[in-house]
Amino acid sequence: MTSVAGRVRAAFDAWGGPLVSRIVAALFGGYALAALASVAVLALPMSKPQAVLTGEMASFVIYAAAVIWVFAVRSALRAWAGLLVVAAPLLLAAWSVW
């Protein structure tokens, strides 16, 4: 690990970077994913009030699942990647209704 990138990586790891990264992914990434899902639900074929309430109720389950995912997978990178993979289709759906 002599390259600059390697040294940055080593410093990141040494200072608890992966852990901090996971905490941020869980707290904020998880909330963002849950919020996104609660908006994406509006794209489903049901009335607005029902969709809004469905999204709100589902959001906490999604948030909790996201946090578990973030700490269950092998690396911080995978944690973020997983959140993004789920976020992509939700973002499309949310985009269509915002």
Partner 1 sequence: MGSPSVTTDQQARPDGRGLRQSMSDLHTWVGLLLGWVLYAMFLTGTVSYFKDELSQWMRPELPALSGVPDQALVAQRVADELVALVPGSPQWSLRLPDARNNSVYAFWRTAGAAPGQRGFGEGNFDPATGRTVSSRATLGGDFFYRFHFQFHYMPVVWGRWIAGIAAMFMLVAIVSGVITHKKIFVDFFTFRWGKGQRSWLDAHNALSVFGLPFHAMITYTGLVTLMALYMPWGQQAGIKTAEDRRQLNAELSAFIQPGKPSGEKAPLASIEDMVRQAQERWGRDGVGRVTATHPGDAAARVAVARGDGGRVSMSPQYLEFEGTTGKLLAVHEGVGPAAETRGVLYALHLGRFSDSVTRWLYFLVSLAGTAMVGTGLVMWTVKRRQKLPDPARPHIGFHVVERLNIASIAGLSVAMAAFLWANRLLPETLADRANWEIHGFFIVWALTLLHGVLRPAKKAWVEQLWLAAALLALLPVLNAATTQRPLWRSLADGDWVFAGMDLMCWALAALHAVLAVRTLRHQPKTRPARKAVNKPAGAAVLREG
Binding site residues, partner 1, CB under 8 A: 13, 18-19, 34-35, 38-39, 41-42, 46-57, 59-61, 63-64, 67-68, 71-72, 74-76, 94, 97-98
CA–CA separation, 26 and 20 (whole Å): 10
The tokens for 16 are 């608890």
Of 83 and 94, which CB lies nearer to partner 1 in the complex structure?
94
In the complex, the smallest distance separating the C-beta of residue 34 from partner 1, rounded to whole angstroms, is 7
CA–CA separation, 35 and 33 (whole Å): 5
CA–CA separation, 58 and 61 (whole Å): 5
In the complex, the smallest distance separating the C-beta of residue 21 from partner 1, rounded to whole angstroms, is 11
DSSP state of 26: I
Of 68 and 81, which CB lies nearer to partner 1 in the complex structure?
68
In the complex, the smallest distance separating the C-beta of residue 59 from partner 1, rounded to whole angstroms, is 5
In the complex, the smallest distance separating the C-beta of residue 26 from partner 1, rounded to whole angstroms, is 8
CA–CA separation, 54 and 79 (whole Å): 26
